[in-house]
Amino acid sequence: MSIDKNVQTVKDFFAAIGRGDRKGMLALVAEDIEWIIPGEDWPLAGTRHGHAGLADLLETAFRSIETSMEPREFIAQGDRVLVVGSAREMIKAQQS
């Protein structure tokens, strides 16, 4: 894949996040994806594998946090794309 195509794929992924389009997000990632979110003691921390792992993460994210993201810059080299931007999350109160 070309660098321009890689950047467009990442932009499309962020657009799908903004729409809440889980199927669209999954369609843009490899079947063997490994998604790592560092940290402890919050709902999204951990490592997820494959489409099933990412689907579980997305379900947890949409259920448990409110988020806004603003990707500002996409830097690409070879098959890697770095996104520079900001994100803000708020953990939703748990219903009992």
- pTM of the predicted protein model: 0.79
Structure tokens at 23: 């199927």
Locus of tokens 């990442």 = 10
CATH architecture designation of domain 3-91: Roll (3.10)
* Per-residue pLDDT of the chain in tens (96 residues, 90 and over written 9): 799 999 999 999 999 988 889 899 999 999 999 999 888 888 889 999 999 999 999 888 888 888 888 999 999 999 899 999 988 888 887 665
Count CB-CB contacts under 10 A for residue 13: 20
The domain limits of the chain are 3-91
Residue 52, phi then psi, degrees to nearest 5: -65, -40
Structure tokens at 4: 């321009």
Structure tokens at 21: 């389009």
Structure tokens at 48: 């997820």
